[in-house]
Amino acid sequence: MAVYHAPLRDMRFVLHELHGSEPDGGEDGFAPDLLDSVLDEAAKLAETVLLPLRQSGDAEGCALENGAVRTPRGFDAAYRRFCEGGWQGLSCDPGVGGQGLPERLHKLVEEMLCSANLAFSLFPVLTHGAILAMRDHADATLRARFLPKLVEGRWSGTMCLTEAQCGTDLGLLRTRAIPQDDGAYRITGTKIFITGGEHGLAENIVHFVLARLPDAPAGTRGISLFLVPKFVPREDGSPGARNGVVCTAIERKMGIHGVPTCALSFEDATGWLVGEPHRGLPAMFTMMNGERLSVGIQGVGIAEAAYQAAAAYARERLQGRAPGGARHPDRSADPILVHPDVRRMLLTMRAHAEGCRALSGWVAWHLDAAAHAADARARQASEDFLALLTPVVKALFTDLGFEAASLGVQVLGGHGYIRDHGMEQLLRDARIAMLYEGTNGVQAMDLVGRKLPAAQGRLLDQFREPVADFIAAHAANAGLAPYVQPLGSAFGRLQSATRHILEADDPAEPAAAAAEYLRLFGLVALGFMWARAAQVALPRVQAGDEAAFYRAKLATARFYMQRILPQADGLHAAIMAGGSSIAAFEDAAF
C-alpha cells in the first residue's frame, strides 16, 4: 500500500537551478547529466528495493536470539544490493574505495532512502558518520585497516555514547578504557540506545565508543574516543575473533522497528584510541555533526513520503462536495482534494518538504565548498555557515517532518490511524528524529548558546548577509514583492529576536527563548528559500514544457508566505516577552 516516487524534478531544481553554480566555480567536473543519472538509479533502489520492505519491516521488527539480532526479512538482501551498488561510498574519497561524488548529490540520495524506509536508512547513515570520524581523527594504521571496509559497507558503524545515567550530559559517562602493552585498550562498560549495535547485515560492526582513560579528568574533558570492532580483524583484514561486546537487550519502541536499538555490554573489549587522549568529544562531534544533518534530512524524507501518500489518498477518496457546489456531479461525491482544509494540509506538507529540501541543498552546497573550495577564506565561511545551520536543520526539519506525518494521518482520517495505509508508521518513525543525536531542545540551546555568540557573530553573518542582500536587491521588484515583502518582515522579527538574545544579561534568557528562536530562524530560512524559488520560477511560468512545474513552485511559495510565515509574529512576541514566567514558577509546584 505504501506510495512513494522520488521527487526527481524537484531534486534537479534544487541541485541545478536554485543554488546556482558549483561551489568551486564549476570545475569539480560533475556534469549535470551524471548527477541526474545517479539520482535516477537511487530512485530505483529506493522505490523498488527499500520501499517494499517499509511496512513489512515495521510489522516484523527485530529480535534478539542468543545474543544475535535478527533483522526483518528482506533487509539482508536489500543491504547487499545497497553495498553492491556502491551507495555507501557515494561521496567518499576514491582513494579508499568511494565514488567521490559531491555531498549535494549524496544528501538528496539520503532523502530518498529516508522516504522509502527510514529504519533501513539508519544502517548506512551511521556507517557514514563512522567514516567521517575515521577520516578526520584516526591514524593511518586504523584508517588503512577499517576505512575501505566501511566505505564498501561490508562493515557497518555505530556511535556508542549514551549510558543509562548519561544522555545529553556526557560528562557523567562511566565506561572505562585501560591501556595495554601492545598499544590497544581494554574497554569495559554498558552503553544503551545503540542504533544498529548488533545485526547480521554486515560482516563486522565497528563501534565508536566514548570512554574514560585511567588518568582522565572528571567531566567532559576526560572522555576519549575508541574504535571497538565486533570481530577483531586478522592480519589479512578478515574478521577474526569475537571481541568482548555483547548485545544484552533490544528496546521495544514506538517506531523504526526495522533497525535494532541495542544495549551493549563491553567486557574487556579490545579497542584502539581514535584521536588524542581526553579529546574524544571533539572527535565524536565530527561524526555527530554529520549525523545531525542526516537526521534533519530524515525529516524531509518523512515529510515528502507523507505528502505523497496523503495527496494520492485525497485525489481518490470521494467524500462530500466542494464548498461552492459539486465539482464532479457525475460521481457519488467529489474527491476530498476539493476541500480547502484538505488542500491547506497538503500545501503545508508540500511547502515544508520542498522548503526543507531547498535549504538542505544550500547546506550541502556549503559541505562541498567547505571541502573543496580553492580559497581558504571561502572554506572557512562555509564551515561557519554549517556550524550555524546544523542545529537548525536537525531540529526544524525533524519537527516539520513529524508535523507533516501527523497532517498525513489527518488527511486520511480514521484510515490514517490503522496500519494498512502505512501513514501511522511514518508518524511513529518520524518521532525518533526529534530525540536522537541531541534532542531538539539541545539543538536550540546549541544555536542560541554557542553558535549565535561565537566569534562576535561571524557565524551568523553567513546567513544574515545573503538574506539581507537578497531582500535589498529585490526591494524594487514588483513581481517578487509578494515574496520579498513577507520575508523582509519576518527577517526583521528575527533580527530583533537575535538582539534580544545576544544582549540578555541573565544566562537563563537565551535558554528560555531557544525553542521559539530556532523555529523563527527556521521559518525565515525557509522563507528565504521560497523567495529564491519564486525568483527562479517567475520568468518560467508562462510558457514551455515545464511551465506547470514552475507555476506550482510559485503557488507554493505564495502559500508559504501568506499562511505559514506569519507564525513569525507570534514567535517573536513570545521571545520578546522574556523568560521570567518560566523562571518564576516554583520548582515544588511542578
What residues are labeled active site? Answer: 437
Binding marks (x or -) toward its own copies, 155..184, rule CB under 8 A? Answer: -------x--xxxxx-xx------------
Residue 13 and residue 533: Cα distance in Å, rounded? Answer: 9
Which segment (40-48, 233-241, 529-537, 582-590) binds its own copies by CB under 8 A? 582-590
What residues between 199 and 258 interact with its own copies by CB under 8 A? 251-255
Closest by CA to 109, choosing from 17, 13, 8, 3, is 8
Of 238, 444, 535, whose CA–CA distance to 527 is shortest?
535
Scanning 63-71, 120-128, 366-374, 568-576 for contacts with its own copies by CB under 8 A, the matching segment is 568-576
Complex with its own copies: residue 63 or 473, whichever CB lies closer: 63
- The vertex-432 CA angle with 39 and 147, nearest 5°, equals 55
Rounded least distance, CB 361 to its own copies, Å: 21
Draw the binding track, 285-324, toward its own copies (x: CB under 8 A; -: no contact). Answer: --------------------------x--xx--xxx-xxx
- Residue from 79, 436, 463, 470 in contact with its own copies (CB under 8 A): 436
Q: Which of 130, 512, 525, 541 binds its own copies (CB under 8 A)?
A: 512
Nearer to its own copies (CB atom), residue 237 or residue 570: 570
Is residue 543 part of the contact set for its own copies (CB under 8 A)?
no
Cell of 206: 565497528
545 is a contact residue toward its own copies (CB under 8 A): no
Size of the site for its own copies (CB under 8 A): 101
Using the structure block, give the residue that is written with the C-alpha cell 536537525.
394
Taking alpha carbons only, the member of 139, 193, 372, 394 closest to residue 288 is 394
Shortest distance, CB of residue 233 to its own copies, whole angstroms?
31
The helix/strand/coil state of 132 is helix
Decide: is 329 part of the binding site for its own copies (CB under 8 A): no
Applying CB under 8 A, among 38, 125, 345, 525 the residue interacting with its own copies is: 345
Q: How far is CA 250 from CA 130, 198, 425, in A?
A: 22, 9, 19
Interaction residues for its own copies, span 472-491 (CB under 8 A) = none
Minimal distance, residue 411 CB to its own copies, in Å:
9
- Which of 54, 230, 339, 394 is in the footprint of its own copies by CB under 8 A? 339
Alpha carbon distances (Å) from 523 to 27, 172, 406, 475, 516 = 33, 35, 19, 20, 10
Query: Should residue 377 be labelled a site residue for its own copies when binding is judged by CB under 8 A?
Result: no
- Among the candidate windows 35-43, 122-130, 145-153, 504-512, which touches its own copies by CB under 8 A? 504-512
Residue among 58 and 368 whose Cβ is closer to its own copies: 58
398: left (phi over 0), alpha (psi -120 to 50) or beta: alpha
Q: Which of residues 8-47 bind its own copies (CB under 8 A)?
A: none
**Cβ atoms < 10 Å from Cβ of 234:** 10
Strands 176-179 and 185-195 turn out to be antiparallel
List the beta bridge partners of residue 206.
157, 229
β-strand pairing of 68-70 with 155-160:
unpaired
List the one residue from 445, 447, 467, 537 that touches its own copies (CB under 8 A).
Answer: 445
- Binding its own copies (rule: CB under 8 A), the pick from 131, 138, 259, 342 is 342
63 in contact with its own copies (CB under 8 A): no
Query: How far is 33 from 47, CA to CA, in rounded Å?
Result: 21
Are 110 and 127 spatial neighbours (Cβ–Cβ below 8 Å)?
no
Residue span binding its own copies (CB under 8 A) among the ranges 10-18, 40-48, 230-238, 415-423 = 415-423
Q: Which residues contact 49 (CB under 8 A, 6 or more apart)?
A: 78, 81, 82
> DSSP label at 249?
E
Between residue 260 and residue 279, which ones bind its own copies under the rule CB under 8 A?
261
